[in-house]
Amino acid sequence: MMSNHSSATEFCLLGFSGSHELHYILFAVFFLFYSVTIISNMVIIVIVSVDKRLQSPMYFFLGHLSALEIMITSLIVPAMLWGLLLPGMQTISLAACVAQLFLYLALGTTEFALVGAMAVDRYVAVCNPLRYNTIMNSQTCISVVIGSWVFGFLSEIWPVYATFQFTFCKSNILDHFFCERGQLLKLSCDNTLFTEFILFLMAVFIIIGSLAPTIVSYTYIISTILKIPTASGRRKAFSTCASHFTFVVIGYSSCLFLYVKPKQTQAAEYNKIVSLLISVLTPFLNPFIFTLRNDKVQEALRDGVKHSCQLLKD
C-alpha cells in the first residue's frame, strides 16, 4: 500500500493467478497463438504487397489491418509471456504504462476506423461494381488509410491524458497483465465518475461511430444480394463480404463488452478475459478469417509456396 499523499511512479502487474504449472500451460498456448499470429499476418502483408492479383483496395486495406494486428498483439503478449515465466509480479514504470495504454487504444481505434472503411469498400464493390475502380482509386485508398491512422492517434490523446491526471495512491498493484484503463482507475483516490462517463461517451462515439457505416453498408449489400436472380450469383456476391462481416462480429462484440459501459472499473477477471479476446484471439483468427474464405488469397498462397519450393530445389 502507498501513502495517501503520493502517487505511484511504477506499477506491479499481477498477471494471471494459479500455480506455476498452469502458468507454463498458459505460456505454451499464448506463445503458440502469438507465433502463428505474427507469421500468418506477415505472410498476408507480403503476398498483398508482391502479388499483382491482390493489388486492389480490399487487399490494400487487409494489409494494413494485418499490420495493426501485429502491432496490437506485440504490444501486449511478449510482456505477458515474460510474466508467466517469471515468479512474482512484473513492474512497469509510469511512463511505460502511459505509452502502452496510449498505443493500445490508438491502434485499436485506428483498426475500427479501417474496418468501417472496408465495409464501405464492400458496399461499393457489390452495389456499384461498374464505378468501383473510379470511386475506390489509389488516391482514395491512401487517404482513407492515412485518415484512419491520424484519427486513431489523435482521438486517444485526451482519454489517456485524463486517465493519468488522477492520483494513484490506493496501491500500485495492478490486477491485470498490462496497463488496462479500468484497473488503473480503481487505484485512484480521486472521484473518477465524471471522467469515466466522458470516456464512456467517447467509446460510444468511436465504436458505434465506426460501426454505423458498417451497418448501413451491409443493409444495402444484403438488399442488393437478395435481388440477384441466381443462387450462384448470390453466393459469389456474399463471399466477397463474408470474411469482413465475420471479423466485424468478433472484433466489435469483444470491444463493446470491454469499453462501451458507463463504469470502466469492471471486475479484473472479466477485463482479463475480454482483453485476451482483443489482443490474442482476434489477431490470431484474422488471417484465417480472410484466407480460408478467399479464393484469390488461397491461390496466391499456393503459388507462393510452389515458387518457394522451386527456388529451394534450384
Of residues 160, 154, 204, the one with CA closest to residue 181: 160
Per-residue model confidence as pLDDT tens digits over 221-255:
888 888 888 877 777 777 767 777 777 777 777 66
Q: Which residues of the chain carry a pLDDT beneath 50?
A: 1-3, 264-265
Of residues 142, 132, 152, the one with CA closest to residue 237: 132
Which pLDDT belongs to residue 265?
Answer: 47
Residue 48 lies in a domain: yes
Residue 4 lies in a domain: no
> Where in the sequence is the domain holding 95, given as residue range(s)?
11-312
Q: 179: left (phi > 0), else alpha (psi -120 to 50), else beta?
A: beta
* Alpha-helical segments (H) within the chain: 20-50, 57-85, 94-127, 132-135, 138-155, 157-163, 181-186, 193-226, 231-259, 268-276, 282-292, 295-313
Residue 5 lies in a domain: no
Reported pTM: 0.85
Residue 304 lies in a domain: yes
> Mean pLDDT of all residues in the chain?
83
Cβ contacts of 32 within 8 Å, gap of 6 or more:
none
Beta bridge partners of 10: 93
Residue 82 lies in a domain: yes
Residue 6 lies in a domain: no
Number of domains in the chain: 1
CATH at 211: 1.20.1070.10
Residue 61 lies in a domain: yes
Residue 2 lies in a domain: no
